[in-house]
Structures are given as C-alpha cells and as structure tokens.
Amino acid sequence: MVGEKVRSLKTAKAEKADIDAAVQLLLKLKVDFKQMTGQDYKAGCPPSENSCVSDSGPLTDAGKDDEDTVDPWNVSTTNAKGVDYDKLIVRFGSSKIDKELVDRIEKVSGQKPHRFLRRGIFFSHRDMHQVLDAYEKNKSFYLYTGRGPSSEAMHVGHLIPFIFTKWLQDVFDIPLVIQMTDDEKYLWKDLTLDECHYFAVENAKDIIACGFDVNKTFIFSDLDYMGSCPEFYRNVVKIQKHVTFNQVKGIFGFSDSDCIGKISFPAIQAAPSFSNSFPKIFGSKQDVPCLIPCAIDQDPYFRMTRDVAPRIGYPKPALLHSTFFPALQGAQTKMSASDANSSIFLTDTPKEIKSKINKHAFSGGKDTEEEHRKYGGNPDVDISFMYLTFFLEDDEKLEKIRQDYASGALLTGELKKILIETLQPMIAEHQERRKQVTDEAVKQFMTPRPLNFNLPA
Amino acid sequence: MVGEKVRSLKTAKAEKADIDAAVQLLLKLKVDFKQMTGQDYKAGCPPSENSCVSDSGPLTDAGKDDEDTVDPWNVSTTNAKGVDYDKLIVRFGSSKIDKELVDRIEKVSGQKPHRFLRRGIFFSHRDMHQVLDAYEKNKSFYLYTGRGPSSEAMHVGHLIPFIFTKWLQDVFDIPLVIQMTDDEKYLWKDLTLDECHYFAVENAKDIIACGFDVNKTFIFSDLDYMGSCPEFYRNVVKIQKHVTFNQVKGIFGFSDSDCIGKISFPAIQAAPSFSNSFPKIFGSKQDVPCLIPCAIDQDPYFRMTRDVAPRIGYPKPALLHSTFFPALQGAQTKMSASDANSSIFLTDTPKEIKSKINKHAFSGGKDTEEEHRKYGGNPDVDISFMYLTFFLEDDEKLEKIRQDYASGALLTGELKKILIETLQPMIAEHQERRKQVTDEAVKQFMTPRPLNFNLPA
C-alpha cells in the first residue's frame, strides 16, 4: 500500500522532494511500528487475537459500558441503584440465577436457600446445573474461593463470599480451598513480600472466624503454597503456556508497561480451579468438579480459566457470582478498605459502627420529616436498607421495613437504628470468634493435608 | 509530522484524491500502531523503554547485526570463521577476557589456566575482577550454570560450559548450582511436562558424568524446585515485579502473541543468580557473589538480571561467556541436537564418530592433494581443527597441527584422524562414567541440602 501511494503521488506529478518526504515518513512509521510490536506492519491486517471470543461469551473488555465499569480492579456505575446486573449477565455471557435454580438448590441440598440466593445477592452463575446433576448422581465437587490480602483491615463486604461459601460447605458437605493471593498484592501494591504474607495470615483468621470446618477446609498463601507443591506449579505453567499476552491484554487491560508478574498472574488464580492442584486432598484426580463462589468482578479470571480448561484436558469450573457490597456513601461504588469512611470494618467498635452509619450511610429518605411522611423514602437507593438485605435473616421483617420506608411510616433515623442493631452484635460476635482463633488453628487450616470427605469413585 | 506532510503535499498541488489517500494511509498506520502498542504514535519519539540502556550496555536487541544473529534461540552468521566475538563484546557491553585476566586467574587459583581460557573459548566476562578481588579477601562465591533439557540427546557442544564449570569448582573449591529449565522447554517446545522433566533427569546424568563433586553441587529441575522452595518463588516474584513487558520484548524479542509463560520465564532463569534462592545452601544470606559460566547466547537473561539486581537489593552476578561450539557443517551455526548430522552425540559409537567426522566435518583443505600440499589448508574455517582447539589439551601439539595444516604438510584426512582419535576415547570414557551414575546418585545431587564449603563470615 505504501508502494501504491508512492506510485500515485508520482503520477500526480507532485514535487520529488514531497514524494521523498512521504516515503521517508511512511517508512519511519513502519519501522517504529515493527520496533514496538515485533511484527511487520500490514495495512488492513490488525492483530486478530485481540478480539477472541470463547464459548462463554466475549473474553475481551466485557466489563465496561457507558454506565458501568466492572473488572477485578475497578467497580463503578453512574446509577445510584448500583450496577445493572441483568446487563452484566448479558455482557459477561453468564446465566441468571432464576427461581428454578434456587428451587433446585433447595431440593438437592434439602435446605432452605440462603438469603443471598433468596434475594438475588448471588445472582449469576455458570454451569451450576451441571454441578447439581453430578451431585444428584453422588458425584462430589469442591469449593474454591479466595481473598487478596492487601491490608489487615477487612470490612463487612469482604465477608459476603465467605458467609455464602460456608453455607454451601455445610449444606453439601464438601471440601473447600481458599486462596490468599499475597503474591498478587505484592505485584500490584507498594508492599513488601513479608507485609503481604503477614496480611494473608491475619486475613485468614477473619476467614476462619466465619466458622469453616477445619476438617474440610484448606487455606493457602500463594507465596507458601507455590513453594511447597510441585503439582500446583505444574498447573500454573500449563495454563501459562495456553494463554497469550494478547488474551490477557484483552481480558484484563494489561499494557506493555505492566510488569511480567502481573501479566502471568492470572494463571495463578486459575490453577486452584483444577483438583490435581491439591494432591494432598484429591490425589492425582484431575476431574473433581470445582464450584467457585465469588463477586462478579472476579469473573474475568474464570472466563480465562474456562477458556483454557478444555485445551489442557481439565473440566471447566462452575461459578456463582455475587453483586457488590455497596460503599456507605452509595451504590455507585463498592465498599473499599482503602477509604475508611466508606467501610465498616470487622474491627470497628459498636460506637464506631453507630457513628459511621448515622454519619455516612446514604439515605433514600426525604429532606424533611414532613416530606418523608408524605411521599415516603426510596429503599432502592438507601444504603441502610441495602445492607439489611445482606444481613437481616427474616424475610417478612425485611419486607415490612421496605414497605414502611417506602410509605413513609419508617423514618431514615429509625431505619438506620435497625441496621445498627443488626450489625453491632454480628460484628461483636465475629470479633469474639476471631479472638478464639489460635495460631495453632491457623497453622492447621494452612497446612496442606488430606481433608475429611468422601471422594466419589 | 503527518500534518507537515499533508501541508507540504497541498502546497505542491498534488491531486486532492492523492492527498486524501496519503492522509488515510498515514492515519491508518497510526491507528494500527496504537492498537498494537497501546501507545500513541509520535514521529521522532520511538518508545523509550524499548531501548533502555543499563550500566551493562544496551539491553535491547543487541544480539543482531548485518552479519551475526545471537540470542538464546538463534545463533547464526554469514562468516565461515564463525561469529565475530570482538564485535559481540562491544554490542553486548561486556569485557574481553584478556591476558591480564587470564594471568590473574592463574595467580589467584594457583593453577594453570584451563585450555578454554588459554585459547579464548571463554572470551568475554562481566565483573570477573570483582569476584577475584573478593576471593583474594577470603570471600567465597558460588557458581551457577544450567541446561535446557529439550531431548535425551546431549552433544559434545553441550559439555563445554560443564567442563569449564567443573574446572572452576575444582580450582576455587566453591559450591555450584545447576538449573535444568524443564519448565522453559515445556513452554517453548511441543513436549509434555513429564517429557521435559524426564529429559531433565536424563541430562543430569550426563552432567554428573562430567565429574562434579556431590558435596559441592546441587542440580535442580525448575518443575521440582519451584514447588519445594518458597524462597525461590519469592525471588521469582520479586524479579517479575521489576521487569516490564516492554523490557522483555526489547531484550528477547517477545511479541503480543507469545504465551504469558514465555513472557514471565526470564525471571525464573534470573532467580538462581541470588544466593537466598538456595536457603539450604546459603541460609538467608543474600549477598554471596554469584559467577555464571555460560555460552554468550544466554547473556540476555543475565543482562536483564544485572539490571534488576540493584533495584531489589541484591548484588549483580558476574559472568564468563564462551563462544559457540560449531556445527559439523561449519561455523556459521552452532551444533544443534535437532540436526543429527550437525552433531556428535554423547551416545555415539566410535564408528559413528568416525563416520560423521569423515563425512560431514567441514574442511579448510584444498580440493586435491596436490593443491593442498602446494597452497596449504585454512585452519580458521576447518571444523576438525576448531574441535581440536576445544578438546586437545597439549598446546604445542595443537600449534604444530595448525602449522602443518596451514603449510600443507598435514592433509585433511590426517587432521580428521587426529580429531577422531581424540573424540573416540573421550566420549567412550564419558559413556563409561555415565553408566556408573546410579539413580541414587542422581537423587542425591538433586536433593536440596546443605553443601560442604566454608561460607565466609
């Protein structure tokens, strides 16, 4: 094409100097192009892998549209009701957790569905029906979830996947692995390896305080486990061989100036999805199905994992996705430990909890009591009401609160009081349980060892 | 600049259609450039990290010029005498091993320099004087070399770094670590993990047969060691945090369609350069100096390592670089195990050795005996003579062969016979020693354990 241009200029009788200048500029662009990309420039042939599509929907940049941004590092929306989760299901190519699936979980487990299922807090899934099909045929599965330990301070939002995972462990009676990605936090944050590892152990105590069964649960720090399990590293390398930079660039938005640790990290979060990454638990079995309960922002990792799995001879993990836990200031962002005013921490005193909610929790109420009584409040944007949907177990009571708030019978101050009185004992009890987590218990949870469950034949 | 061009075309009264076409083409190039690189194109401002220069010379693409290509995956030259090593020293920014350094090694070690030093086969170094300075002050150092186990078949060329490393171990009485990069071979070749690991163990037997001291030598497979030493993984992650994709692209020529395993692998070859990667040997000491004897094509890995080292608080490793061992067909390429006719394998019988040399070894002799007697041969391009410089210990005998061949007194057939009679017993003895390497011995060499040497205070 450069040749055509040059010929065309010549025909048009442009000055020779201009032709030369055009040729030089075009050649320079091509040289710089090659220098940057390592590839010869070909007009009309942009790189193809950038836009690869897998069976689980488009792999690339699915987490962003005009209104919402959702990826492992950013969650935000312009909508006060929060992210549009129905739209997210379409964009991510996952499936809605509908009434049929909730009913089926109730039937198979023989337990009343957890409030997170009843209320659409876990709202999306991949292949959950397959997991239940297998379970009904007496084929067990295992749970995998995780936490990025970037500080000592965990907040109530961090508990959501763990509360739900504990329920799944209890009702299905299955093993669970919990990955603490201290290596990831070292790569992404301005922290030392020792700090990240320390946070991993401290956070593990909060996770243990959720009540997991030590006989069925293995918690691991990547920094420890990579160096103590060759089978885990083998799976990491297998995954790394089957994912290109173009792919992680498309999925995670990495750029050429990102460090090579970030670029290869997704394989480390993918590896626990395959049962032979845990030989002490599953021996050499590589086909024990895996179910991953996590917040929807982690889905890019597992879209990649599901894309790779069949190419390395492993089953795809199934997923259950939760919504985000909103910040005190409103549902436009999720609760973030790096913004103390946006968060209720697991270490907060009853007084701090009361003060933060009264001061910061975004209200859907009207400006004056008179207006509120007359027009009613809006529970759909009210943070206190949203938090109650996460933590108040009684469905009828919750519905009455919703109606009373919407009608104006319940004032914002009264609603906040109900939330405060729900959270204060819940967090105090968590603190009490955490105090009882001994170093010995942490060591036990974090030691690779056989777990007590029946591996199907 | 694009703007200028367009203005200049307009002034020159080129047809409008041509101007539009030129503008479209330039814009398209810029768009494709951005799509490929994630950066806006700026004429005259090629990306800076791509051409970063470290204190050890230019990091990028230094291994290629009009005549020679030298990188970890390609070695070739158009010159029958082989790669121009003096030019390579300038391009890589290393230092020549001159007479002064050889004399100093003799003085410090108290031993006659190895023939590889006397004959310029190890021809280039980085910081060898610093290693000797420290050694003279009773500060020990350790040796690190390695092998990429891509097949069972090792050839005589593969022995060069090991023969020399054994000599260094003997004369300096220091510990040695040998990395078998089975993970690398899995990532680059169409092989399974098990095959690569098997080749690592088989190749280790050939390496052990070189006579290393089991009390001072640790041989490790990456696939095993990564999963058994958290300290090693910690160093890998540290390095991976401090190297960008732009850097490895510049140094190794990786592209966006390379897998993320290749992109992050250089950190794994870098990590053994730091003593705290081997806690069983060095405890938590992170400042034991490291000396790496290797072929010059591996230098890109260690340019990167030396660039990273001060940024993560570790000393830079020193290096000793060897020339390549030429293919039977001529010094334009190095001996390659994937081309059976180019190689003399460590498993070849005396008959095969004789036949290969007679049939394939490129000759610097004349076409007829009469011409050869009259004009003499050219030892500088003669493969048999080159091989003798590697393996014939006696300097005087070698010099006499050179003179006789150059004068025409020695015929090509006679020269080949000398080489055959040098290699046949050498390889037979290697085979005999390899036979005596038991599985127990391999296990011993490959077990992380304390080594027997005096760690300086």
The per-residue pLDDT for range A157-213, each reduced to its tens digit, is 999 999 999 999 999 999 999 999 999 999 999 999 999 999 999 999 999 999 999
> How many helices (H) and strands (E) are present in chain B, helices listed first?
22, 13
Q: Can you give the pLDDT at residue A337?
A: 80
Q: Is A30 on the interface with B (CB under 8 A)?
A: yes
Give the DSSP H or E segment for A203.
helix A193-208
Query: B236-245 burial by CB neighbour count: b if 16+ within 10 A, else e?
Result: bbbbbbbbbb
Identity of the residue in B12, B43, B263 whose CB atom sits nearest the CB atom of A245: B263
pLDDT at A64 over 90: no
State how far the Cα of B450 lies from the Cα of B457, in Å rounded to an integer.
Answer: 17
Residue B227 to residue A224, Cβ atoms within 8 A: no
Residue A254 to residue B237, Cβ atoms within 8 A: no
Q: Is B257 on the interface with A (CB under 8 A)?
A: yes
Residue B9 to residue A32, Cβ atoms within 8 A: no
- Find the helix packing angle between A193-208 and A412-435, rounded to 10°: 100
Q: Rounded to a whole number, what is the distance in angstroms from the first to the last CA of chain A?
A: 63
- Write the pLDDT tens digit of every residue in A67-105: 788 888 888 888 888 889 999 999 999 999 999 999 999
Residue B237 to residue A193, Cβ atoms within 8 A: yes
Percentage of chain B modeled with pLDDT above 70: 85
pLDDT category, A347, cuts 50, 70, 90? very high
**DSSP type of residue B315:** P
Q: Is A26 on the interface with B (CB under 8 A)?
A: yes
Please give the torsion angle defined by the CA atoms of residues B23, B25, B26 and B28, in that order, rounded to the nearest 10 degrees: 120
Tell me the mean pLDDT in the region B87-109. 96
Residue B241 to residue A187, Cβ atoms within 8 A: yes
Beta carbons within 8 Å of A333's beta carbon, 6+ residues apart: A75, A76, A77, A326, A327, A342
Q: Is B7 on the interface with A (CB under 8 A)?
A: no
Q: Can you give the pLDDT at residue B308?
A: 98
Task: Single out the residue of A216, A218, A266, A262 nearest to residue A242, CA to CA.
Answer: A266
Q: Can you give the pLDDT at residue A63?
A: 59
Residues of chain B with C-beta less than 8 angstroms from the C-beta of A266: 260
Residues of chain B with C-beta less than 8 angstroms from the C-beta of A245: 245, 254-260, 263
Identity of the residue in A226, A259, A267 whose CB atom sits nearest the CB atom of B240: A259
- Write the pLDDT tens digit of every residue in A5-43: 444 444 444 444 444 444 444 444 444 444 444 444 443
Identity of the residue in B38, B260, B266 whose CB atom sits nearest the CB atom of A244: B260
Q: Collapse the DSSP code of A326 into the 3-class scheme (helix H, G, I; strand E, B; otherwise coil) and give the result.
A: strand
Q: How many CB atoms are located within 10 Å of the residue A184 CB? A: 24
Q: Can you give the pLDDT at residue A456?
A: 53
Contact yes or no for B74/B264 (Cβ under 8 A): no
Residues of chain A with C-beta less than 8 angstroms from the C-beta of B226: 226-227, 230, 233
Provide the token pair at B199: 């080749």
Identity of the residue in A41, A245, A260 whose CB atom sits nearest the CB atom of B29: A41
Tell me the mean pLDDT in the region A376-401. 97
pLDDT at B68 over 50: yes
Residues of chain B with C-beta less than 8 angstroms from the C-beta of A241: 186-187, 259, 261
Cβ pairs A/B, distance under 8 A:
229
Which stretches within A296-382 are classed as H helix?
A: 299-308, 350-360, 369-375
Q: Is A47 on the interface with B (CB under 8 A)?
A: yes
Nearest-CA distance A53 → chain B (Å): 16
Identity of the residue in A2, A35, A227 whose CB atom sits nearest the CB atom of B230: A227
State how far the Cα of B250 lies from the Cα of B243, in Å rounded to an integer.
Answer: 11
pLDDT at B328 over 90: yes
Nearest-CA distance B262 → chain A (Å): 7
Is the CA virtual torsion A146, A151, A152, A153 positive or negative? negative
Pick A232 or B335 by higher pLDDT. Answer: A232
Q: Is A249 on the interface with B (CB under 8 A)?
A: yes
Nearest-CA distance B131 → chain A (Å): 30
Provide the token pair at A169: 């462990």
- Write the pLDDT tens digit of every residue in B157-196: 999 999 999 999 999 999 999 999 999 999 999 999 999 9
Least confident of A28-37, A373-382, B381-390: A28-37
Q: Can you give the pLDDT at residue B239?
A: 98
Nearest-CA distance B402 → chain A (Å): 44
Residue B227 to residue A226, Cβ atoms within 8 A: yes
Q: Can you give the pLDDT at residue A37?
A: 42
Tell me the mean pLDDT in the region A389-401. 98
Residues of chain A with C-beta less than 8 angstroms from the C-beta of B264: 240, 260-261, 263-264
Residues of chain B with C-beta less than 8 angstroms from the C-beta of A35: 46-47, 50
Identity of the residue in A224, A231, A256 whose CB atom sits nearest the CB atom of B246: A256
Nearest-CA distance B13 → chain A (Å): 7
pLDDT category, B69, cuts 50, 70, 90? confident
Pick B213 or B20 by higher pLDDT. Answer: B213
**DSSP type of residue B141:** -
pLDDT at A3 over 50: no
Q: Collapse the DSSP code of B56 into the 3-class scheme (helix H, G, I; strand E, B; otherwise coil) and give the result.
A: coil
Nearest-CA distance B142 → chain A (Å): 23
Q: Can you give the pLDDT at residue A212?
A: 97
Identity of the residue in B2, B18, B37 whose CB atom sits nearest the CB atom of A256: B37
Question: What are the residues facing A127 on neighbouring strands?
Answer: none
Nearest-CA distance A414 → chain B (Å): 50
ipTM: 0.85
C-alpha Rg value of chain A to the nearest Å: 26
Nearest-CA distance B180 → chain A (Å): 15
Residue B26 to residue A26, Cβ atoms within 8 A: yes
Q: Can you give the pLDDT at residue B205?
A: 98
- Write the pLDDT tens digit of every residue in B197-250: 999 999 999 999 999 999 999 999 999 999 999 999 999 999 999 999 999 999
Q: Is B286 on the interface with A (CB under 8 A)?
A: no
CA distances from B88 to A164, B58, B63, B303 (A): 61, 12, 7, 14
Residue A227 to residue B242, Cβ atoms within 8 A: no
Residue B256 to residue A233, Cβ atoms within 8 A: no
pLDDT at B19 over 50: no
- Write the pLDDT tens digit of every residue in A243-265: 999 999 999 999 999 999 999 99
Say what the pTM is: 0.85
Residue of A nearest to B35 (CA): A46
- Write the pLDDT tens digit of every residue in A143-166: 999 999 999 989 999 999 999 999
Is the CA virtual torsion B11, B12, B18, B24 positive or negative? negative
Residue B18 to residue A36, Cβ atoms within 8 A: no
Q: Can you give the pLDDT at residue B9?
A: 43
Q: Can you give the pLDDT at residue B24?
A: 47
Q: Can you give the pLDDT at residue B17?
A: 47
Nearest-CA distance A157 → chain B (Å): 29
Residue of B nearest to A246 (CA): B256
Beta pairing, strands A176-180 & A217-221: parallel
Identity of the residue in B43, B223, B233 whose CB atom sits nearest the CB atom of A223: B233
Residue A237 to residue B186, Cβ atoms within 8 A: yes
- Write the pLDDT tens digit of every residue in B274-319: 999 999 999 999 999 999 999 999 999 999 999 999 999 999 999 9
Nearest-CA distance A21 → chain B (Å): 7
- Write the pLDDT tens digit of every residue in B343-381: 999 999 999 999 999 999 999 999 999 999 999 999 999
Identity of the residue in A36, A39, A43 whose CB atom sits nearest the CB atom of B28: A43
CA distances from A22 to A17, A359, B20 (A): 9, 64, 13
State how far the Cα of A8 lies from the Cα of A11, in Å rounded to an integer.
Answer: 5
Q: Is A396 on the interface with B (CB under 8 A)?
A: no
Residues of chain A with C-beta less than 8 angstroms from the C-beta of B25: 1-2, 5, 26, 43
Mean per-residue pLDDT over chain B, rounded: 88
